[in-house]
A and B are shown apart, each in its own frame.
Chain A
Amino acid sequence: MPELLAQPRWAEAAQALIGGCLDLGPRQEGAIALMETVCNGLGDQLYPAFLRVLAEVNLRGEYAARAAVAQTLAQSLCQGRLPSGSRAAWGAHQAGVQRRSLGPIEYLCLAAWPRAGESRGTSELSPEQFQTLASAVMELLDCDAEARTLYAGHLCAVADDPLDGTMPREVRAALRAFAQSWRSHPDASRACAAFIESLGRAGR
């Protein structure tokens, strides 16, 4: 199992991801496969490191660099190959539980607002950390209008999936409003803040 370096070189990793997407062609099969290969190489345990790399791209990348990664994410979504991490779908305390593959934003959402049975009901991210990470990933996707529209639609589908046992009911409702807000207005920070506030009102 890979282990995170003592001092991960986040910016270097982000530059390598940007370079790879550009060299292989944003929206092309190669760039999609690159993201999949990176996530497979990290494994589920280190999937959050991939999210950190996406955040680095957004925070430090020039516009064309961010757009190349956003376009690759959009095409990944079109093909149902969004780079994903997995979490327990139901009852993580039970042996042999089913696992659910989750894209970056819904993964962060469940890390911050897990089901009562998952992680013993304690969140792994604070609302502030969720805001930082989710906003960064969403702002990255905002670099490509299609990416935002597609991902917002994807989040709505996740929220509306009646068979998905991953997401608490109140989080599902808030996620739907969150996605609709983001789809209407490319303002990630505002959408995240409203999402956090609505969950706070719901007692989460």
Chain B
Amino acid sequence: MSGIVAATVLASTVAAPSALAGGSNVIAVGVLLAEFGMFRQALLRDQVRLYAAQSALISVLAVVVAATRNLPDLYALAALSFALKTVIVPVVLRRMLRGIGAIGGDPRWNDIAGSHALSVAGAVLIAIAVAAFGFFTVAALGLSSPVLPATALSISAAVVLVSFVLMIVRRDVISQAIGLLSLENGVSLTALVVAAGLPLILEVAFLFDLLVAVVVFGLLIRVHHGRAESMSTAELTSLRG
């Protein structure tokens, strides 16, 4: 089954190698690679940077779609999403981390390499398997998009699933928060592929919601840090049964 699916996927990409399709697929793959890069990062600051880069790629893709498919709304969305996800959210996150001494200050909280529940290699292998599953499953559904190649949709499914793996294998609050934010990036990528025409007002509502969520995450991270004196979630085990 998956062989047939892979063949159809290959056939469809081989049949239409337009510059737009190729370019947008490259951007989508970049988003996925950034997601994988987050497994590798040992420093909080780098992880936030990677998130900013990933968000920037999505804004670029939005501009590409806006230009080629004549959807002027998407320019506004791209600008807004760039301002919010590449600038404001990383700045907020970094300011918060600095506030609790996680950047530049105490080395204990600067380094989150030890927060892996698995080895990096093991986590990446699992992520690859999960990404492949997402890629081929969504391809099998035969969804086609009016604005972007279906491959980008499959890649976005992979991004979503890999971000779940990231949240699962990391045991510190920042990585989990970043995992969630990058999950939202994966959803944005999906939205660009299959719902490029979604009314702007709704997109803005989603983005505003993201901002609120970031603030709440910040508050809760601070609460957690204040009580547990650490970023680790390993001690969050008192409630069970």
Q: Do A and B bind each other?
A: no
Taking beta carbons and an 8 Å cutoff, which residues of A are in contact with B?
Answer: none
Taking beta carbons and an 8 Å cutoff, which residues of B are in contact with A?
Answer: none
